[in-house]
């Protein structure tokens, strides 16, 4: 018991020397969170980028007017987004978030 009485203040003193301590009371109850599937989203963005490269190459090689280029790029980009979303629809994955409690935040000083 004497060691505990001696060690507890020592740990607190050393902790305050080496760490900045902030009180941040945060409690999270268990729940289910839906997130979009990262692999599916990566495939979607790869599809959009591939189609975007083709759209740019075709537009810049066939149209000289910058205003018309901008309009054509915008229209074809929206069409490419819709086509790629049809190919790679949004998939939601369920993540079980566990019970979490946080009272103190420690930041290393040095």
pLDDT in tens, 5-31: 888 888 888 888 888 888 888 888 999
Confidence of residue 108 (pLDDT cuts 50, 70, 90): confident
Whether 84 is in a domain gets the answer yes
Number of domains present in the structure of the chain: 1
pLDDT of residue 110: 73
Structural domain that includes position 66? 24-104
H/E run at residue 90: none
Whether 9 is in a domain gets the answer no
CB-count burial class (<10 Å; 0-12, 13-18, 19+) for 81:
middle
**pTM, to two decimals:** 0.63
Whether 56 is in a domain gets the answer yes
57-82 mean pLDDT: 93
73-90 mean pLDDT: 96
Whether 19 is in a domain gets the answer no
Whether 12 is in a domain gets the answer no
pLDDT of residue 42: 97
Which two three-digit tokens encode residue 23? 């009180």
Is the C-alpha dihedral spanning 41, 42, 46, 49 positive or negative?
positive
Asked whether residue 1 carries a pLDDT value surpassing 80, the answer given is no
Whether 68 is in a domain gets the answer yes
How far apart (Å, rounded) are the C-alpha atoms in residues 77 and 48? 8
Strands (E), the chain: 19-28, 31-36, 92-97, 100-108
How far apart (Å, rounded) are the C-alpha atoms in residues 76 and 73? 5
């Amino acid at each position: 018991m004497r060691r505990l009485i001696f060690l507890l203040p020592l740990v607190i003193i050393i902790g305050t020397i080496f760490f900045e301590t902030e009180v941040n009371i945060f409690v999270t109850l268990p729940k289910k969170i839906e997130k979009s599937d990262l692999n599916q989203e990566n495939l979607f963005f790869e599809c959009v980028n591939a189609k975007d490269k083709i759209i740019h190459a075709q537009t810049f090689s066939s149209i000289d007017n910058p205003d018309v280029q901008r309009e054509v790029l915008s229209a074809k980009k929206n069409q490419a987004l819709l086509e790629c979303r049809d190919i790679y629809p949004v998939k939601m994955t369920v993540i079980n978030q566990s019970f979490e409690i946080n009272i103190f935040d420690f930041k290393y000083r040095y």
